[in-house]
Amino acid sequence: MLKYTFYGHACFMLDDGEYKILVDPFLSGNPQATISPKDVEANYILITHAHDDHLGDAPEIATRLDAEVVAIPEVLTLCTSRVEKAIIAHAMNLGGTLNLPFGQVRMVPALHSSGVEGGIACGYVIKIFGKTIYYAGDTALFSDMKLIGERDSIDYAILPIGDNFTMGVEDAAKAVKFLNAKNVIPLHYGTWNVINQNPETFRGLVSGAEVLVVKPGQSIGL
Ligand code: NI
Ligand code: MN
């Protein structure tokens, strides 16, 4: 089974039973966080951009676990600067595919600021356990999401719906169409008042895909 665990805000874990892939590990200071950065496990850490609510505790978790960090070079440089111990880092950039023991990771564009000079925000297409998962990271709606859906058959799209910093429910529902995703998991909402959104409103706007609302601390099988 492929397990998806939501740790709150935009932090989640994919676990295929052998490898744990932790994404955007913002736990310290995350009002929704359901695990401590001292307790969370990971073999790989994927980071979409350097805003605190995404890069989060990645440097400390990576050095504690010797987990490999995947990110844009500028984001990796920032991670490295925050800890004494060396980080196992794999730099990628947009359009690149990385083969890893559990499958594949492709770095794809996102329309958002990066939080670090010279950087760029990204999303990921992750192939693991026979499933294709697209995590948009923080982004506005953009029409090239159609290309992501054309290239791969998206089993699960993980999309921000909180509005203000990212697309809101209407644009996220349109993203589901662009991606031709079979299932969609909303996140990046409700953490603070400024991104309060009702996932049931989002569900009502989505057609042609199943909306899976996963609460912080909850795990589901994908
Ligand atoms: Ni951001
Ligand atoms: Mn964010």
Per-domain boundaries in the chain: 3-221
And the tokens for 8?
Answer: 């709150």
What pLDDT score was predicted for residue 59? 98
Q: Please name which ligand lies nearest the alpha carbon of 26.
A: 2
3-221 architecture in CATH? 4-Layer Sandwich (3.60)
113 CA to centre of ligand 1 in angstroms: 7
Q: How many CA atoms lie within 13 A of 104 on its CB side?
A: 13
What pLDDT score was predicted for residue 190? 98
Neighbour-count burial of 118, counting CB atoms closer than 10 A to its CB (0-12 exposed, 13-18 middle, 19+ buried): exposed
Q: Report, as an integer, the average pLDDT of 93-114.
A: 98
- Calculate what percentage of the chain has a pLDDT beyond 90: 100
Under the banding of pLDDT at 50, 70 and 90, the label for residue 60 is very high
51 CA to centre of ligand 1 in angstroms: 5
209 CA to centre of ligand 1 in angstroms: 26
pLDDT digits (tens, 9 = 90+) for 111-151: 999 999 999 999 999 999 999 999 999 999 999 999 999 99
What pLDDT score was predicted for residue 129? 98
What pLDDT score was predicted for residue 128? 98
61 CA to centre of ligand 1 in angstroms: 20
80 CA to centre of ligand 1 in angstroms: 20
The reported pTM is 0.98
Under the banding of pLDDT at 50, 70 and 90, the label for residue 39 is very high
How far apart CA 50 and CA 80 sit, in angstroms, is 12
Under the banding of pLDDT at 50, 70 and 90, the label for residue 191 is very high
